[in-house]
Structures are given as structure tokens and as C-alpha cells.
Structure 1
């Protein structure tokens, strides 16, 4: 007889059809379950787990090593209850909610750390500047002096020597005059940079870089989204100038050519404002001045100071506020991308936006 069976084998069938069962043996008797009195100390004993009457229904996983159908365990009695208490594994919903909350907290912590690292790197972003403040002041002074000397004296003197002046020219002649003057000023500024920085060549990495590759296009697109704010500051600045009864600038030659609707003059002026001016100005203010200032101050202050110099160099009190803000935006784009092409494209797009606005 199997040790896990509770019944003896069936006797052979009698002729009368009755089945005679033998008397139960001691091995087949059901074990007696003894209950302890309330408050008794827990003891180690045998508890009934599974009793199978057929060999093929045995549950091996619930039987003990000796195959008696019982499992030895510790009886845990709480308030006199002899039933065994299973370990509570927790609610599945609670575990899932805890996992989700923990996952979001980890993500939030990573985002916070990345943001702090970005701000730290931006604040402490510096260029390797081999020259001192004396060279910075020298370059900027010579550039402003050359800009004024070429535009106000050299080109007008050459035009007068050729027998004409800007005021007597047609709209197309004035546009061509402005283009020649702007190109001359830009080339003179580049010559000054080349001469003053020649003794520091080769320059450290990161200076005057033009890169087509990279993700600087997204920075330029983000800067373009701020154009309406620059335009709003322009209107506010003009209103403040009128309220203070300050000098109001007259109509420029660009505006005169637009009013005259001369297509050739408008095309020449478009080249001046969208190609020439962005190249020269970005090389000086973002390419040279902004990185040079990081030798003495954090990057944000360098961006702000170079933007103020950029606005003052236009000699137009009606455009100070928008030009400072625009200089900050272009400085931020350049500092993030370390690419002069990015700030040049943004500068060109802004000038084109203003030019198209004047054509309305």
C-alpha cells in the first residue's frame, strides 16, 4: 500500500455483487488533529497539507521529504488562532503605483541634474584667451575709429575727388555707394584684427569657427521666435525717445529707395543689410569681443556687455533697447553653438525681417 494513500486496495468482487472492505489498518487511519489551548506557546509540529486517495493525483510540491503528505512548519498562533498565517506579499496595485512613483522621481532627478549641469557649463563657459585687456581695447578702438574714418572721410573724399557726392546721386547710385562703403569698412576691420592678433597665431581652438555641421539650425530657429519681442522693444524705444523730446532720426536712404520702389536700389540695399553687415559685425562683436571678455568675467556678463557695445556702435538712440536684446540673443546662440555661422544667419534673418517690414 502506498504511503500517500488513505484507503486500502479494493477487495475482489464477490459473486453476489457486494464489495467487502477489510478493516482499516493503523496506517490508513486519519491523523488526529490536536488543538492547543488558547494562549499556548507556538511549537513545531506537523500540519495536514494534502491527502490524495489516488497515486496519480499526488502533489509532490506539497509533500514532505518522507512522502507522508504532511509538511513540517512553524505554527503561528495569533489570539489563540491555530491557523497558519501566510506571508503577505502586498497588493499588486500598491506595488505598481510605488514602481511608477519611483520611476518618475528618478526621471525628475535626472532632469534636474542635467539642467544644473547645463547652467553650470554655460555660466563657466570660457575661451582660451591668449591676449590681455589691452589688446581687446586696442582692437575695439581701432575698429570704431576705422569704421568712422572710412565711412565719414575716406570714401566721401574719394567720391568728391571723382567729381560727385552722395547727395547728388540717384537712388541706385546711393545704394551702390552704401554697398562700396560697407565693404570697405568690413575689409578694414578684418585687416585690423589680422594685424593686432597676428603675434598670437596660431590661435587656440574655438576662435572664429565657421561650421556647417551641427545642430545650430535649431538655435537659430529658436532665436527667430524672439523676433516679435525685438520688434516690440523697438516700438517701445521709439515711444520713449518721442516722450523725452530727443532727436529723431530722419528718413534714411534705404527708406527713400523703398518709397521710390526702385528694384535695383532695393536689391543693392538688401545685399548690404543681409550679407555684408552681418558678416563684419558678427566677426567683431561675437567672434572677437564676446570670447575675449570671458577672460575677465562669466559668460553671461560677456554676452550682455558685448551686446551693449553692439547696440552703441550703431549710433542710433531709437534702436538701443532692441539692439541690446538682439545682441543678447545672437550672443547666446553663438555661445551655445560656438559657431559664427549661426549668429551670422540669425543676424541676417533679423535684418531681412526689418527690410521686408519697411517694404510694406
Structure 2
């Protein structure tokens, strides 16, 4: 091999390393075939459907069937919450599917799930930030204290009653269902869609803010924004929804276990 060939090969290798570092630090934008109109349409319908299903449709069906949620046992209320969450999530998936149907087949890296790659390391590093998220929760509560007195939620009541079946059902809601639905819409759809109009890092920040705001809880705004940034960064690096879902699930599980103390 001549010296010239060696230098060319070395320069190509160096360029590839620089490109890889750029992808890791900056993130490559997604190919987005839809406009802001579709982004707003999906997000509005998704939020509206969760409110409509959870606050009106499911309660109406339950009332028509003679079911009073407040009169149910701890296990009955937990099952009611699980069924409501599943119906809400599936409705959101149907909306997303219908709104994006005309753009299929979608470009590469959209709604990708894979066990391959080193994303496990990113998830592990994200878990190391959980104490900081918890610290932000305490700061947020000091800035915006909870109203006094605070009524215990159905989850907290079932934990205080030490009902194992109810706690298991609630664990499925918070550690399985919620991460799936929320990651599909915020990291799977919103974050990549925003890269059509802004840099990837800005898309991570904006999708994280939206993620926090739609929880409608000012006492948890700061930790949710930061958590959204962490999950967004993991997703951008891996292009894998499974990574952000797992990290989201681990955080929710961490919070749930903390409630059980």
C-alpha cells in the first residue's frame, strides 16, 4: 500500500469518526413527510381523546352497566383504572395510525423497536440521573407546595391497605401502559416531527416541555421536563423507542416503589 493510499484511507476513517461524533452530539434530523398541520392535528386529537375517553366515555359506559367506581373495592378500582388506561392508549394509537396512514410507507427510523445496539448502556446512564430527578421534585414542591389537605389517590389508598392484587394492577398501569402510550406519542411522533422545523436538541426540549405540560400537574413540572429531556436524548442516540420506554418504565416503577415505603 502506498503512502498516498494510506493517507486517504486514514482521512476517510477520521471523517467517519467525526461524522459519528456529530450524530451523537447533535443528532440527525428525521425525514418528516408531514407538516405542522398534521403535528398539531395528532397532538390535539390525542390529548382530546384521552380526556374524552377517561372522563366521559368510560364513566358513561360504567354508569350504564350499573358500576359505581367509588363503590368498588380496591381491586375493582385498580381494574377500572387499568381498563380505562388501555382504552385511552389504544384510542390514541388508532388516531395516530389514521392521521399518518396517507404518508405510508414511512421513512426509516420511524417508530423503531429493536433489541440490537448498545442502547442498554444509555438506559443505565439515564437511571443514574433518577436521584437528580427526585431532587427536582423536592425543589418543585418547595416552589409550589401541594394544597392542604391533600386527599389520598386510589393508588395510595390501595397501597395503604396493602392489597397485593390492586398494587399489581396499578403497577401495570404506571410501569407498562403509561410508558408505552406516552413514549409512542412524545418520543416516537412529536420529537422526530419537530426536527423538520428546528434542531434536534431543540426538538428534545420542546417535546419534553409538552410531555410535562400535558400531565397537568404544576407540582411535577420541573422533574417531568428534565425526565423528558433524558428520555429524549436516549431516544435520539438509539433511534429506538424500546430504550426510552424502558427508561420511562423504570422511573415510574421507582416512583411506585417509593410510594410503597
SS at match of 2:49: helix
- In the alignment, the residues of structure 2 paired with residue 168 and residue 187 of structure 1 have an alpha-carbon distance, to the nearest angstrom, of 27
> When the two structures are superposed, what TM-score results if normalisation uses the length of structure 2?
0.90
Deviations 1:69-107 (A, max 9, x none): xxxxxxxxxxxxxxxxxxxxxxxxxxxxxxxxxxxxxxx
Deviations 1:276-319 (A, max 9, x none): 01000000000000000000000011001000111111111111
How big is the shift at 1:220? 0.2
In structure 2, what is the equivalent of residue 3 of structure 1?
none
**5+ residue gaps, structure 1:** 1-109
How big is the shift at 1:119? 4.4
- In the alignment, the residues of structure 2 paired with residue 211 and residue 173 of structure 1 have an alpha-carbon distance, to the nearest angstrom, of 36
Superposed counterparts of 1:51-200, under 5 Å = 118-119=21-22, 122-123=25-26, 125-200=28-103
Aligned 8 A contact 1:241 1:248 in 2: no
SS at match of 1:344: helix
In structure 2, what is the equivalent of residue 308 of structure 1?
209
Is residue 287 from structure 1 mapped to residue 188 from structure 2 by the alignment? Answer: yes
Alpha-carbon RMSD across the aligned residues, in angstroms, is 2.0
In structure 1, what is the equivalent of residue 250 of structure 2?
349
Aligned 8 A contact 2:27 2:236 in 1: no
Label 1:339 to 1:124 Cα distance change in 2 as closer, same or farther (>3 A).
closer
Moved over 4 A (4+): 113-117, 245-249
How big is the shift at 1:122? 3.6
Aligned 8 A contact 2:46 2:95 in 1: yes
Find the structure with the greater CA-based Rg: 1
In structure 1, what is the equivalent of residue 10 of structure 2?
none
In structure 1, what is the equivalent of residue 198 of structure 2?
297
- In the alignment, the residues of structure 2 paired with residue 248 and residue 131 of structure 1 have an alpha-carbon distance, to the nearest angstrom, of 47
Label 1:335 to 1:247 Cα distance change in 2 as closer, same or farther (>3 A).
farther
SS at match of 1:197: helix
Deviations 1:30-51 (A, max 9, x none): xxxxxxxxxxxxxxxxxxxxxx
How big is the shift at 1:250? 3.3
SS at match of 2:152: coil
- In the alignment, the residues of structure 2 paired with residue 181 and residue 213 of structure 1 have an alpha-carbon distance, to the nearest angstrom, of 33
Is residue 218 from structure 1 mapped to residue 96 from structure 2 by the alignment? Answer: no
How big is the shift at 1:120? 6.3
> When the two structures are superposed, what TM-score results if normalisation uses the length of structure 1?
0.66
- In the alignment, the residues of structure 1 paired with residue 143 and residue 17 of structure 2 have an alpha-carbon distance, to the nearest angstrom, of 41
Larger relative contact order, structure 1 or 2 (CA cutoff 8 Å, min sep 6): 2
- In the alignment, the residues of structure 1 paired with residue 167 and residue 201 of structure 2 have an alpha-carbon distance, to the nearest angstrom, of 37
Aligned 8 A contact 1:143 1:189 in 2: yes
In structure 2, what is the equivalent of residue 49 of structure 1?
none
The size of the alignment, in residue pairs, is: 248
Aligned 8 A contact 2:69 2:80 in 1: yes
**5+ residue gaps, structure 2:** 1-12
How big is the shift at 1:221? 0.2
- In the alignment, the residues of structure 1 paired with residue 67 and residue 172 of structure 2 have an alpha-carbon distance, to the nearest angstrom, of 23
Is residue 321 from structure 1 mapped to residue 222 from structure 2 by the alignment? Answer: yes
Give the one of 248, 251, 257 matched to 2:158. 257
How big is the shift at 1:117? 6.2
In structure 1, what is the equivalent of residue 5 of structure 2?
none
Label 1:124 to 1:275 Cα distance change in 2 as closer, same or farther (>3 A).
closer
SS at match of 1:125: coil
